[in-house]
Chain A
Amino acid sequence: MATENPYAQYHVVKKGDTLSKIAEEYYGDKMLYPKIFEANKDVLEDPNKIKPGQKLRIP
């Protein structure tokens, strides 16, 4: 089991968040949302379905 990287950044999903909005916040480009989706496939099945309170890793 891989240890968690203490320098990895996380985002806790708020009401109204989308992966595109999160990508724009962290990367400045909403089109980069697949990066976040790929990094969180263990908790996300669909990039369009995220829930408030989910903790997503921002690679």
Chain B
Amino acid sequence: MRFAKVFVALAATTMMLIGCASQKEPAEKAVAQIESSVAEFRADAEKYAADELKSVDESITKLKNSLASKDYSMVVKAAPSLASTVASLKQTVAAKKADADAMIAAATAEWGEISAKVPQMVEAIQSRVDTLGKSRKLPSGLDKATFDTVKTDFESMKTEWTDAAAQFASGQADAAVRKAREIKAKGEMILAKLGMAPAA
């Protein structure tokens, strides 16, 4: 009877060890696959979904800790859910990247249009301001106070344009375009104050 009990205990332990060993490979493979999947889009995820990536990384760390403590069944059980989360994050990152790319393309196109117009605007205003600066009397509709304001606004317009161009060159297309729109509006206001109706 005693022998039987020992035999059963040994058999159970052996079965458990065999069971654990048989789950080791699938567990390691599952973790490796998850890590490999995340590595494929990690750079974009850091840019477009940093918080979600952090959460996934924490889950991977937990899984690896379970792997280290040889809790293979837990790893095998938890891996599918995490793999599904990773797949979902991959889709989210791809969608956010596509949105960002589209926004940059639109901003770049708008920058192209505005950056063609503003220098022409600056040239026209500069010429008129220089000429009026030599005039003994200002034309009707333009008093000295308005002309002084125009000169101040024009100088700030030129400085802002330099800043916007630098911003665009540094890759901040969206911010540069927002600034460029304001500069163009300021230029149109200056043209109006100078009595220079746009040809269009």
Contacts and interface: CB of A to CB of B under 8 A. Distances in A.
Contact of A32 (B131, B191, B199): B131
Nearest to B119: A5
A27 B135 contact: yes
Interface stretch (B29-37, B63-71, B121-129): B121-129
B77 interface: no
Contacts of B196: 7, 9
Interface in B131-150: 131-132, 134-140, 142
Contacts of B142: 28
A59 interface: yes
Contacts of A32: 131, 134-135
Nearest to A6: B199
Given A27-B131, A32-B131, A7 B139 contact: no
B197 A25 contact: no
B85 to A, nearest CB: 54
B169 interface: no
Task: Give chain A's interface residue range (CB within 8 Å of chain B).
Answer: 10 to 19
Interface of A: 4-10, 24-29, 31-32, 35, 59
A6 B135 CA distance: 24
Given A6-B120, A28-B139, A32-B131, 8 more contacts: A7-B124, A7-B125, A9-B196, A9-B197, A9-B199, A27-B132, A28-B136, A59-B127
B199 A28 contact: no
Contacts of B123: 5, 7
Interface in B155-200: 191, 195-200
A28 B121 contact: no
A25 B131 CA distance: 13
B117 interface: yes
Given A32-B131, A35-B131, A8 B199 contact: yes
